[in-house]
Structure formats: structure tokens, C-alpha cells
A and B are shown apart, each in its own frame.
Chain A
Amino acid sequence: MAVCIAVIAKENYPLYIRSVPTENELKFHYMVHTSLDVVDEKISALGKALVDQRELYLGLLYPTEDHKVYGYVTNSKVKFVMVVDSSNTALRDNEIRSMFRKLHNSYTDVMCNPFYNPGDRIHSRAFDNMVTAMMIQVC
């Protein structure tokens, strides 16, 4: 369902990025990169006072002609960005939320591994499998 999934660290460098149609990878990388500005805008818009109330799911960041970009920020400022195909109209907000929740859970599992240093690229196979399951329907 998702076309591209990326995990961005707090310092705005990618920890994990994968897109399914691998020929257009550069385009997705660029979209994720530009979406980071929107993410920053959204998280700073609420102000510092409302950090506790800030919701993790940011919603639709911006739509393009073919794709829509959704964002999610954790409390440690790790961002998940997901690009979905615009033609996939059946995809509702709740589904996107659940996908982000799964991503977040897998990410915490990766974090629990003491051999994982925060800030490293994510090489976990379980995480890979989960992401593949989310993207598998795109041919």
C-alpha cells in the first residue's frame, strides 16, 4: 500500500528508507527530503508549551499529483514519513494511523536491541519484514 517508507532521525538524516518501485527511488528520496520541512513546520507550529499535547500522527503533509505524503513524529523527534499512491483512494486515515503505529512498535523493538546504537542505520530483519509487509501490495 505504501510506496515509500522512511525513518528519519532527530538530526534529519535517514535511518532507514525503502521504496518499492526501485527504479524511481531518487524521486521518493527527494519527496521525503522535502517533506521534512513540512514536518518541522507542523511540530513547531504547536509551540513549545504544547509538547505534551502534540499528537504523534501528523496526518497528510502534502499531496502531489501522484502521491500523498504522511508524517508521524515520535517523542524523541524521530520522524516516520510514508508516501502512498494517490490512486489508492481506499486508503483511509485510520489505516495510515495503524500503519504508523506498527512502524513505531517495530522501531521500539529495534531500539530494545542492546547492540543497536541509536543513530545507526536500521538493519533489523524483523523491521525489514514488517516494512515489506506494508509495501507488498504495490506491484
Chain B
Amino acid sequence: MEAAGGGGSGPPLLLSDAEQQCYSELFARCARTAAVGPALPSEPARALPSTVTAAAGPVADLFRASQLPAETLHLITELCGAKRVGYFGPTQFYVALKLIAAAQSGLPVRIESIKCESPLPRFMMSKNDGEVRLGTPAELHGTKAQIPYLTTDKNAFKRADDGDKQETQSPTMSPLASPPSSPPHYQRVPLSHGYSKLRSSTEQMQPASYEARQSLAQTEGTSSGGPGAKPPRLQATLIRSFSVERDPHDSSSHYPDEPWRITEEQREYYINQFRSLQPDPSSFISGSVAKNFFTKSKLSIPELSYIWELSDADCDGALTLPEFCAAFHLIVARKNGYPLPEGLPPTLQPEYLQAAFPKSKWECALFDSYSESMSGSQQPRDSHWSEKTSVKDMADFSVSTQDVTLDDKQASINTTDDASPKDVSEDPATPKDSNSLKARPRSRSYSSTSIEEAMKRGEDPPTPPPRPQKTHSRASSLDLNKVFQPSVPAVKSGSLPQPPALPPRPCPSQSEQPAEAEVPPQSSRAPSQASESSPTKKDIPYSQPPSKPIRRKFKPENQTPENQELPPTVGGPASAPSMKLHPTVQKQSSKQKKAIQTAIRKNKEANAVLTRLNSELQQQLKEVHQERIALENQLEQLRPVTVL
């Protein structure tokens, strides 16, 4: 091929092997078509004889076949430099292909996209290009080939004749070690390449869950499995698994959502899982049950949360069977490395699944109007999927494939539900088809994963993150906890909270000395029972004397009612505990009796003291009143004098 490793001009173009083959193939085809095809109006495309160029015509066709919008294609042609130089040289072509691949996978079309890994671009070729397709009679049957897997398959099993062709092609496919020898169909290239990779790692792979699929494929694949060689069967089943539901005549075969389509085997598996959680297939699985189940898949909680959000369409916190299948499928896809979609793909919508539910086999759905956000590059994804799972399988299992019987497979299916999420994850990934590759690793896989699953089950569901403390983060001044707590013990003790409006205490005057003198000894003698009341009593006398001078100026009336009511009330609570003590006294020892009696005595003394204090204060109040009256008289007398 002319392409020299992806060209040197412009930003370095790193192509993987698959891309290299694919692009070179495409370039060759375009160049060939240019040479073969009629003279194109775009003469400049062939202006430079020095380099082989791809004519604009076939290139434009190819680009249009990529199903990208026109402005994207314009952008791509600009970026790749074809417009600048006026022709599609190898470098420009490769850059353009890479950008197309990036655009199809949803990446923004920029020069930097070239550098990043992207799957192979996908082109939907029409019948017109059939001439260039060699060796794929299946495709020439008029169906638009989407994915290499599908193109071969879709027709293969639906029609016997295709099956024959499948077989005839399979020998050509078998020497996969040398991709160039495969039919020069570009679509074959990724398949073969992917296939070769599969072959290289087949020994380790095949996770499993395709057993069920294989069993079905076996029965039907026998027609195509004439040669009996593993490769064709492998390829056949591989394709079969993805295209079971395809109608060969379905012209709207652009189902770009390959990984989002649930196959028959997967579906049965999901239904079994559903039944294990909830016997009645028509009712719900509750949120907590589903949470425990899906947590076993060891995906991160945010991802599981997002998957739930996608699949629980009615947001009721429970999963019906279609919703469950969708969620399970998304988990499986995620475990296989597929990024989660922005929205629920149409094939996973509950209505779609519901429609397919009663049927044992899914008919192909002729949903033409699907606009897929996920449409980008499903085909390359498949190859990637298999590659990724192959890597994963090698990581997970270290088993050698051996011939296995169907019994093994079924036994393994029945055994561990624990390993099921893990195995299902392998399911779609491995379109490896020979049974021989499956069951043994599968049984081994159970043993290896069942422990993990059991461990996982043993763990609790991930503990919720610690909730922030019940602190008042914003209003530190208003700490409700502190405000309410003191009142509680105060209420319990039966003593009154301190009067709120206590003015600050200046040093007590001499007149309060006697009161104070009484109070300290009283407080020192205060028994434990009256301890709560005594602080208040102590405080009250303390508060009252200091406030006397202020009271004289401001509010004498307010304080005295307080004084009056406080001592009796204090006496009340004091007497109440003392009354309560009486019944208990009888039960307690004599020492406690005596202590309580002394306490009672002291309370009474305190009461007496307080009443005396009260009377004194009232006397003072009267005196103050009299002084006030005297002062007012003086004021009245003085006033007329000053007026004059």
C-alpha cells in the first residue's frame, strides 16, 4: 500500500495495526476507483502524479457513507488538509479517516483527535460499491452492511444459501494470521484483525456466558458449520450472537447500538436472575434488593447510581422486568469497558423490551427512526470489546481451553448466581464461539470468581458516607443545642431558671451584708437535695441586693413581685422534693433518714430566712415609695419657682 505508516506531514498520525490496514484498504479502493471510474470533475484531485491520490469522488462517497452530517464532513476535509493541498493524499486521507472515526465515536473533530485512540470508522456502503466488494456475496444481497460481524452473519443464518456462502468464505477467513490474504474487503479487515487477536488469546478467553448462546448457535450453526472447523463456527456464532434479531431483509439495518441490544441468551439469563430475586416476573424488584444485587457487580456506586437512573424509567424506586434487563445489560456493558450512554438507548427502553418480552425470540424491530446518540462506531467497538474482554479474561482467568460438553456448560449455568454478573460481563464480550473454548474456563471461572462474589456478598453494601455532624454550621451564635439543654435539667430539677433580666452586679452595699452573711452559711449547709434550689436561692439574694440601687432608679415594682414569687416558689420546689423524700425515707437507711431530715430542717430555715428577707425588702420598698413621694412634693414646690 502506498500509505507509508500514516504519513509524516502535519501532526503525527499514530495508527494502530487495525487502522493501518483499514485505512490502506480504503485508500487503495478509493485510488483504484479513481483510476477505474469515470473522469471526475474534480481534476485537481489527480493533478499531482507524483503521489497516488484518492479521487475526490469516491472519497466523497466514502465520507458520505460514514453517515456524518455534512458540516462535520466539511470540517474534517478542512482539518485533514485536503482542501489546503487540493487533493486527498495518503496522509490527508488517513487523517480524514481518523477524524471520521473520532466523530463517529462522539469525540469533537479536532486535530488533536488524531492523536487519541479511536475505533475504526464505520462506513455504510451502498450497493453501488458492491463491485469493489469482492468475496462477500452476502453483502451483495442488498442489505446495507453495518458491521463486519453483522454483514456476514445477518444473512448467514437467516438464509441457507448465505450459510453456504458463509462456509465458502470461512476458509478464506481461516488464514487469519495474514490479514492481507483475506478478501480485500475493508469490512473484513477489522473483522479479521479482531479475529486474529481473538485467536491469539482464545485460549484464555471466552468467558462464558456465551454458552447459552452457543447452544443455540450450535443447533443452527450446524448448517454453516459444515466444515466443522472451529474458525467458521467461531465467526458464525460470533456474528450470530449479535444479529439474532436481525431481519436479513431489513433495510433499516443501521442498528448502531449493537452493545445495547440484548440477545436472546442474555435475556434468558437476565430473566433467570430476575426470578431469583423476585419469583413473579410481572412484579417489581424493590430498590434495596436490586441495590444489593447490583452492588455485587463491583461497579462503583456513582456508576451504579447512574445506571439506575437510566434504567428506572418511571423513577419509582423499583425495577420491573424490562427495567431490570436494561439495568443488567448496562452493567454488563460497563464491565466490558463501554462508556455509559448519555441517555437510555432505544433498544433498552422498557417499551421496547416489553414488546419483545412475550416472544421467545426477538423479532427484529423495524424502528427506523432511531436517532442514536450512541451511534458512533459500534463496529469498531465490537472489536475493541473483544479485545478488552480478552485482556480482562486473561487477567481473571488462567485456564486452558479444552473441549467441553454441553453438560458442563449447563451445569455451570445452574451453579453460581454469584459469579453470574461477572460471567455475564464476559458474555457479550466474547463472541468466541467454539464450545470448546467455553465451558471449561467457565467452570474454572466460577471457582475463581465465586469466592470473590461470596466475599462481596458477605460484605455489607457499601456503608454510606459518614453524614456531617449535627452541627449548626451557620449560626454559631445561636447554638440551639446549648440553648435547650440547660433548660431540660433545670426543669427536671424543679428549680427555676435564673431570671433573664439580671443587671450586672456591682459590689454589694453594706445593707446587703446581713443578707449575704446568711446566705453563704446557708448555701454551705445546703444538702444535696436542695442543692439545685440553693444556687438559685443564693443567686436570687445576690442578684436582688445588687439590683437594689438600680431598682430604686428604674423598676422597683418589677423586682418585688419577683422577690415575692421566687421565695415561695423556691420554697415550693424545695418542699416538694422534701415531701417526696418522706415515702422514700422509710425505705432508706437511718443515715439517709437523718440526712434527709437535716435537709428538711435546713430548707425550712432557708424558707424562714427568705421570708424574713422578703419582709425586709418590702419595708425598704415602702420607704422608697415614701422617699419618692417626698421628692415629688419637693419637685412640685420647686417648679413654680423656676417657672417664674
B468 touches A119 (CB 8 A): yes
| B306 in the interface (beta carbon within 8 A) | yes
Known A117-B465, A125-B309; contact A37-B470, beta-carbon cutoff 8 A? no
| B405 in the interface (beta carbon within 8 A) | no
| A74 in the interface (beta carbon within 8 A) | no
Known A12-B473, A36-B474, A123-B302; contact A113-B465, beta-carbon cutoff 8 A? no
B474 touches A115 (CB 8 A): no
B305 touches A113 (CB 8 A): yes
A-facing residues in B294-316 (Cβ within 8 Å): 301-302, 304-306, 308-309, 312, 315-316
| A50 in the interface (beta carbon within 8 A) | no
B309 touches A113 (CB 8 A): yes
When distances are taken between beta carbons in the complex, the residues of chain A under 8 Å from B290 are: 114
Interface string of B261-290 (1 = CB under 8 A from A): 000000000000000000000000001101
When distances are taken between beta carbons in the complex, the residues of chain B under 8 Å from A36 are: 474
Question: Footprint of A on B, CB under 8 Å?
Answer: 287-288, 290-291, 301-302, 304-306, 308-309, 312, 315-317, 464-465, 467-468, 470-475
Known A37-B475, A119-B467; contact A114-B306, beta-carbon cutoff 8 A? no
A12 touches B465 (CB 8 A): no
A11 touches B306 (CB 8 A): no
Min Cβ gap B470→A in Å is 6
In the complex, which residue of chain A has the Cβ closest to the Cβ of B316?
A: A112
For A115, A119, A125, the residue with the greatest tally of chain B CB atoms inside 10 Å of its CB is A115
Complex: how many Å from CA A112 to CA B315? 6
| A25 in the interface (beta carbon within 8 A) | no
Min Cβ gap A67→B in Å is 19
When distances are taken between beta carbons in the complex, the residues of chain A under 8 Å from B464 are: 117, 119-120
A114 touches B467 (CB 8 A): no
Task: Among A37, A119, A124, point to the contact of B309 (Cβ < 8 A).
Answer: A124
Task: Among A13, A113, A114, A123, point to the contact of B473 (Cβ < 8 A).
Answer: A13
When distances are taken between beta carbons in the complex, the residues of chain B under 8 Å from A33 are: 474
A-B contact pairs, 20 of them (CB 8 A): A11-B468, A11-B473, A12-B473, A12-B474, A13-B468, A37-B474, A37-B475, A112-B316, A113-B305, A113-B312, A114-B288, A114-B308, A114-B317, A115-B301, A115-B304, A119-B464, A119-B465, A119-B467, A124-B309, A125-B306
Question: Footprint of B on A, CB under 8 Å?
Answer: 11-13, 33, 36-37, 108-109, 112-117, 119-120, 123-126
When distances are taken between beta carbons in the complex, the residues of chain A under 8 Å from B473 are: 11-13
In the complex, which residue of chain A has the Cβ closest to the Cβ of B464?
A: A117
B317 touches A113 (CB 8 A): yes
When distances are taken between beta carbons in the complex, the residues of chain A under 8 Å from B475 are: 37
In the complex, which residue of chain A has the Cβ closest to the Cβ of B300?
A: A115
User: Apart from A11-B467, A113-B305, what are 12 other A-B pairs with CB-CB below 8 Å?
Assistant: A11-B470, A11-B473, A13-B468, A37-B475, A112-B287, A113-B308, A115-B305, A116-B305, A117-B465, A124-B309, A125-B306, A125-B309
When distances are taken between beta carbons in the complex, the residues of chain B under 8 Å from A120 are: 464-465
When distances are taken between beta carbons in the complex, the residues of chain B under 8 Å from A116 are: 305
How many Cβ-Cβ contacts under 8 Å join chain A to chain B?
55
In the complex, which residue of chain A has the Cβ closest to the Cβ of B470?
A: A11
When distances are taken between beta carbons in the complex, the residues of chain A under 8 Å from B312 are: 112-113
Interface of A is mostly: loop
When distances are taken between beta carbons in the complex, the residues of chain A under 8 Å from B470 are: 11
When distances are taken between beta carbons in the complex, the residues of chain B under 8 Å from A112 are: 287, 312, 315-317
Min Cβ gap A1→B in Å is 24
Complex: how many Å from CA A119 to CA B317? 18
Complex: how many Å from CA A125 to CA B471? 29
Complex: how many Å from CA A125 to CA B76? 31
B472 touches A12 (CB 8 A): yes
Min Cβ gap B215→A in Å is 35
In the complex, which residue of chain B has the Cβ closest to the Cβ of A36?
A: B474
Complex: how many Å from CA A117 to CA B295? 14
Known A112-B312, A112-B316, A117-B465; contact A124-B305, beta-carbon cutoff 8 A? yes
Those 9 A-B pairs whose CB atoms lie nearest each other, nearest first:
A114-B287, A117-B464, A112-B317, A115-B305, A114-B291, A109-B315, A119-B467, A115-B304, A113-B308
Min Cβ gap B354→A in Å is 20
Complex: how many Å from CA A121 to CA B49? 63
A123 touches B317 (CB 8 A): no
When distances are taken between beta carbons in the complex, the residues of chain A under 8 Å from B305 are: 113, 115-116, 123-124
When distances are taken between beta carbons in the complex, the residues of chain B under 8 Å from A11 are: 467-468, 470-471, 473
Known A13-B473, A109-B315, A125-B306; contact A115-B291, beta-carbon cutoff 8 A? yes
When distances are taken between beta carbons in the complex, the residues of chain B under 8 Å from A109 are: 315
When distances are taken between beta carbons in the complex, the residues of chain B under 8 Å from A108 are: 315
Complex: how many Å from CA A114 to CA B284? 14
In the complex, which residue of chain A has the Cβ closest to the Cβ of B308?
A: A113
Min Cβ gap A26→B in Å is 15
In the complex, which residue of chain B has the Cβ closest to the Cβ of A120?
A: B465
Complex: how many Å from CA A33 to CA B309? 30
Min Cβ gap B296→A in Å is 13
In the complex, which residue of chain A has the Cβ closest to the Cβ of B291?
A: A114
In the complex, which residue of chain B has the Cβ closest to the Cβ of A111?
A: B317
Complex: how many Å from CA A37 to CA B471? 15
Min Cβ gap A33→B in Å is 6
When distances are taken between beta carbons in the complex, the residues of chain A under 8 Å from B308 are: 113-115
When distances are taken between beta carbons in the complex, the residues of chain A under 8 Å from B472 are: 12
In the complex, which residue of chain B has the Cβ closest to the Cβ of A33?
A: B474
Complex: how many Å from CA A115 to CA B331? 14
When distances are taken between beta carbons in the complex, the residues of chain B under 8 Å from A37 are: 474-475
Complex: how many Å from CA A61 to CA B312? 36
Complex: how many Å from CA A35 to CA B290? 39
Complex: how many Å from CA A124 to CA B305? 8
Min Cβ gap A38→B in Å is 12
In the complex, which residue of chain B has the Cβ closest to the Cβ of A110?
A: B309
When distances are taken between beta carbons in the complex, the residues of chain B under 8 Å from A115 are: 291, 301, 304-305, 308
Complex: how many Å from CA A5 to CA B305? 22
For A108, A112, A114, A119, the residue with the greatest tally of chain B CB atoms inside 10 Å of its CB is A114
In the complex, which residue of chain A has the Cβ closest to the Cβ of B306?
A: A125
Min Cβ gap B477→A in Å is 11
When distances are taken between beta carbons in the complex, the residues of chain A under 8 Å from B309 are: 113, 124-126
When distances are taken between beta carbons in the complex, the residues of chain A under 8 Å from B471 are: 11
Min Cβ gap B90→A in Å is 42
When distances are taken between beta carbons in the complex, the residues of chain B under 8 Å from A119 are: 464-465, 467-468
